[in-house]
């Protein structure tokens, strides 16, 4: 079932045809159905006003409607000193607004200004339609929005809760003065997995983020990680359909191979992106760094020869103090990353399974001081890494292991040396 949340009325005369299709399961022929635009209204009216907000039950009633005047006052007239970010959507400014619940209190917010292009307008609507409905501790809270017209056109803004510790990418940069500790990185991995699991599995409709990356994972004052930037997100395929076929949107360095090659989008595309992110946490490097030597520019290609235990230390972020506990923990996290990076999307785990595995790596500080090596989650020992075995079930693998008909060295995550099966994950 496709979930529709229309927050703004759209004129039928402005309808735009999208090149978006959803494929059904078929053993003989492939049947395609034109898919609705899901969270993006099919014909964004560029002159939409806040007065056109629908009164339907789907309307997010707890979102505040701001005026441009209020946002100018909040951000010191969008001064350069208030600017805290820049992206494809537009500029982001730090501001302060009055609390509606407590009139004498002020709330710090981040105000995102959408550019006047059609894509910016579509992303603005999508953010409202998603974050106005879904609520979770690991998703950035949308406080409100603004849409006003003047002689220069329509001005579009989104107002979020302010995240003082910026993005995870900021703290993984070599120029960062506050690199994340290993315990914090594991907590970030857990928080991000929890947010994705909620979007994929915990609602009566599925949301595919489509642009999961370290710069879109923000940190609050308690260093809790929250997913942000839902501008290109999509509702998952309807019941009985295998995937959505759509034009590419997102960041190529994080994109799953099937999504890049043929535009097949599923929740497993986010799982692949999460696997790339785990290697960012381990290495402190971005997925693509062109300033490095040729053999080190692409993160997944660089880590591949170092996945055996003897060389693994060479890829761990030098900003971390490496001991036995951290090395074993990082190696286990890379095993989970490899599981997410399987070439066959059907063989990749669900995010709820990933969350369970990552959570098992998190130990309390008193346990960490004993340097007891964290165990590789049992789930990884039951799943084949062979992309050709995507339909093999946990029970089938366990039964073959018990009968001795399965090669134990290739039936689980490699522990001592990268195998040919593992190499296939990165092709």
Does the pLDDT of residue 378 top 70, yes or no?
A: no
CA dist 319 and 282 (Å) reads: 11
Extract the annotated binding site for ATP.
112
- Tell whether 255 and 132 lie within a shared domain: no
d(CA 273, CA 161): 25
Same domain as 176, residue 156: no
155 and 266 assigned to the same domain: no
DSSP H or E segment with residue 244: strand 241-245
> What's the pLDDT band for 10 if we cut at 50, 70, 90?
very low
Owning domain of residue 215: 168-426
Specify the pTM: 0.75
The residue out of 161, 181, 200 marking a domain boundary is 161
In this predicted model, what pLDDT tens digit does every residue of 282-327 receive, in sequence order? 999 999 999 999 999 999 999 999 999 889 999 999 999 889 999 9
Q: Indicate if the pLDDT at residue 54 is higher than 60.
A: no
Backbone angles phi, psi at 270, to 5 degrees: -65, -35
Q: Which residue has the higher pLDDT, 64 or 392?
A: 64
Give domain status of residue 98, yes or no: yes
Best CA proximity match to 87, nearest among 278, 231, 224? 231
State the pLDDT at residue 426. 44
pLDDT computed for residue 365 by the predictor = 55
What is the per-residue pLDDT for 113?
Answer: 87
How many beta carbons lie within 10 A of that of residue 151, not counting itself? Answer: 4
Domain count, the chain: 2
Based on the domain organization, do 359 and 415 belong to the same domain? yes
- State yes or no: pLDDT of 412 exceeds 90: no
H or E element in which residue 154 lies:
strand 153-161
Q: Do 96 and 193 fall within a single domain?
A: no
Active site residue 211: yes
CATH code assigned at 65: 3.30.200.20
* Residue 5 is assigned to a structural domain of this protein: no
Please report the DSSP string for 49-89 in residue order.
Answer: -GGGB--STTS-TT-EE--HHHHHHHTTTT-GGGEEEE-SS
Residue 3 domain flag = no
Q: Using CA atoms, how far apart are residues 199 and 134, in angstroms rounded to an integer?
A: 8
Report the alpha-carbon distance of residue 301 to residue 136 in Å, rounded: 35
Is 145 found in the same domain as 180? no
Considering the domain architecture, whether residues 121 and 234 belong to the same structural domain is answered as: no
Q: Are residues 99 and 234 in the same domain?
A: no
Tell me the per-residue pLDDT of 126-171, one tens digit each, with 9 for 90 and over: 889 888 888 899 999 999 999 888 776 788 999 999 999 999 999 9
Q: 10 Å Cβ neighbour count for 313?
A: 13
* Residue 49: inside a domain: yes
One domain for residues 121 and 204: no
Tell me whether residue 296 is in a domain.
yes
Catalytic one of 211, 317, 328, 335: 211
pLDDT for 28 equals 36
CATH number for the domain that contains residue 251:
1.10.510.10
Identify whether residues 152 and 207 lie together within a single domain: no
Pair of tokens at residue 183:
């315990």
């Amino acid at each position: 079932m496709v979930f529709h949340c229309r927050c703004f009325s759209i004129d039928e005369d402005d309808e735009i045809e999208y090149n978006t299709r959803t494929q059904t399961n078929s053993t003989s022929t492939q049947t395609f159905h034109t898919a609705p635009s899901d969270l993006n209204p099919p014909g964004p009216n560029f002159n939409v006003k806040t007065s056109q907000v629908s009164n339907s039950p789907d309307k997010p009633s707890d979102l505040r409607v701001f005026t441009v005047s209020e946002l100018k006052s909040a951000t010191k007239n969008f001064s350069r000193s208030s600017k805290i970010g820049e992206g494809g959507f537009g500029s982001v400014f730090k501001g302060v607004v009055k609390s509606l619940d407590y009139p004498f209190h002020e709330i710090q917010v981040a105000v995102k200004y959408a550019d006047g292009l059609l894509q910016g307008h579509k992303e603005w609507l999508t953010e409202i339609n998603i974050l106005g409905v879904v609520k979770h501790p690991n998703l950035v809270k949308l406080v409100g929005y603004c849409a006003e017209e003047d002689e220069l056109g329509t001005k579009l803004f989104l107002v979020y809760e302010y995240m003082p510790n910026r993005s995870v990418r900021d703290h993984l940069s070599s120029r960062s003065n506050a690199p994340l500790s290993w315990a914090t990185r594991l907590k970030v991995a857990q928080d991000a997995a929890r947010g994705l699991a909620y979007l994929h599995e915990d609602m009566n409709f599925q949301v595919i983020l489509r642009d999961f990356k370290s710069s879109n994972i923000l940190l609050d004052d308690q260093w809790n990680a929250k997913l942000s930037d839902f501008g290109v997100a999509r509702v998952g395929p309807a019941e009985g359909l295998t995937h959505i076929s759509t034009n590419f949107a997102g960041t190529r360095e994080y994109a799953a191979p099937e999504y890049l090659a043929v535009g097949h989008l599923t929740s497993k595309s986010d799982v692949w992106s999460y696997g790339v992110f785990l290697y960012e946490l381990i290495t402190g490097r971005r997925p693509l760094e062109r300033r490095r030597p040729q053999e080190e520019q692409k993160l997944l290609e660089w880590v591949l020869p170092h996945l055996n235990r003897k060389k693994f230390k060479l890829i761990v972020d030098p900003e971390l103090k490496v001991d036995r506990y951290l090395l074993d923990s990082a190696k286990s996290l890379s095993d989970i990353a490899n599981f997410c990076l399987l070439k066959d999307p059907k063989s990749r785990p669900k995010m709820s399974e990933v969350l369970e595995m990552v959570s098992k790596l998190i130990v309390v500080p008193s346990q960490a001081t004993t340097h007891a090596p964290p165990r590789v989650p049992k789930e990884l020992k039951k799943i084949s890494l062979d992309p050709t075995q995507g339909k093999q079930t946990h029970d089938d693998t366990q039964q073959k292991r018990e009968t001795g008909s399965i090669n134990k060295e290739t039936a689980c995550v490699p522990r001592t040396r990268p195998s040919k099966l593992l190499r296939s994950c990165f092709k």
